[in-house]
Amino acid sequence: MLQTLLRNWTAMRLIRLVLSVIIIAQSIAANDTAMTFAGIFLLLTAIANIGCCGSNGCTTSAYKKTDPTKKDQPVTYEEVV
């Protein structure tokens, strides 16, 4: 568990970490509870490497090259009653 938290630190993860520390420090100085919770949420997403969609939840599939022989085949439709 600890090794997964310490690996794969990307630029986006570092940005979330730095932003969360800045938000938490500023919200404590301004005595703003809501922003403190937002900063803590951002800190947890940076530490756990998750986002709104979960870990790699919003990734797109890799480009797949289509078979050129199937490209010119006619499309057949079936009527559903």
Please tell me the distance from the alpha carbon of residue 35 to that of residue 27, in angstroms, as a whole number: 6
* pTM of the predicted model as reported, rounded to 2 decimal places: 0.60
Q: pLDDT digits over 1-58, tens only?
A: 677 677 778 888 889 899 999 999 999 999 999 999 999 999 998 888 877 665 555 6
SS3 for the chain, per residue?
Answer: CHHHHHCCCCHHHHHHHHHHHHHHHHHHHCCCHHHHHHHHHHHHHHHHCCCCCCCCCCCCCCCCCCCCCCCCCCCCCCCCC
Q: pLDDT digits over 62-81, tens only?
A: 666 666 666 667 778 888 88
